[in-house]
Amino acid sequence: MSGPEKISATGKVGLTDTSLSDIAKLATKNFGAGHLADYIPALRDVDPHQFGLAVIGCDGETHSCGNADTRFSIQSISKLFSLTLALRLVGVDFWKRVMRNPSMNRFNSISDLETNAGIPSNPFVNAGAIVVSDAIVSRSSAPNRFVLDFMRTLSGKGDIYSNDKVASDEAELGHRNFALAYLLKDYGNIDNKVDDVLSLYFSNCAIEMSCTELASAALFLANDGVDPKSGTQIITSDETRELNALLTTSGMYNGSGEFAFRIGLPAKSGVGGGILAVVPQQMSICVWSPELDIYGNLVVGQFVLEYLVQNLGISIF
């Protein structure tokens, strides 16, 4: 394969049509190496042999290939954006309710929460994201719409919606999440009704967006908290640094260490098959392919990101 050019001193992305073609071939070659998220019926029937990639620079330079404009269930990628909202609403006091430590337990671990006396290890495990949802519910009369409007603003797309079927499937089968929420409630770390909090949590996970839309929505994390499209300060530069640090240590669940070793970018995955990655001061990247590894992270996407890091020289380490 011929590789793309390295990142230039001006921060240009440096991808070419040839390198994008090579990336698409790499993705296709690795179809069949993972499994679908078959515990969610609405995701079980997705065509596994799909792939999309979008790379957007802070200067607006955009490259994409494959199914980059196909919308998919963003699942836990939503946790990054709901956390951003919680920080905007609550500020530093939010961290009294959630720690910032990596966890080597499963993302839906109950024992992890009990060990920490009701304080989730980080905001990206399910218990942590449920606390984030509670913080939003406490401060919004229409929390589902509030989150959707935020995603629409960041992506520049007014027709972003949550898939009711996916949300319903997750609510019907989300026994572990109900257990986590009631345990959090027992520890005094949930202020609202469990049903209201989980309604928002499931709705957020069921949001559908494309690689291009997600990469556009995340550009503020590559630009010191400022959305370069509008010039709006989404969060402070310090909060941006902190979020990127959390993404690096915890964004890929208990596969975060291996991901940092192989790829070395702040990133958040979701069992819908997406990975959203950030290159500070340069670009955001979203890759999608539905087949997952044992940690719930997409297989093809990791190969693609590893290729980009090696050929563009964009690892943060």
Residue 271 known to be catalytic: yes
Catalytic residue chosen out of the listed positions 55, 137, 271, 287: 271
Rounded to whole angstroms, the Cα distance separating 102 from 122 reads 7
Rounded to whole angstroms, the Cα distance separating 201 from 78 reads 9
Residue 111 known to be catalytic: no
The residues, any chain, with a CB within 8 Å of residue 102's CB and separated by 6 or more, are 121, 122, 249, 250, 254, 256, 257
Rounded to whole angstroms, the Cα distance separating 134 from 192 reads 6
Residue 307 known to be catalytic: no
For 59, counting Cβ atoms within 10 Å of its Cβ (0-12 exposed, 13-18 middle, 19+ buried), the class is: middle
Residue 25 known to be catalytic: no
Residue 201 known to be catalytic: yes
Catalytic residue chosen out of the listed positions 64, 78, 79, 250: 79
Catalytic residue chosen out of the listed positions 64, 76, 78, 121: 76
Rounded to whole angstroms, the Cα distance separating 286 from 56 reads 9
Catalytic residue chosen out of the listed positions 253, 279, 284, 300: 253
Which stretches does DSSP call E strand in the chain? 52-57, 62-66, 72-73, 161-162, 207-209, 226-227, 232-233, 267-270, 274-279, 283-288
Rounded to whole angstroms, the Cα distance separating 132 from 19 reads 39
Catalytic residues: 76, 79, 201, 253, 271
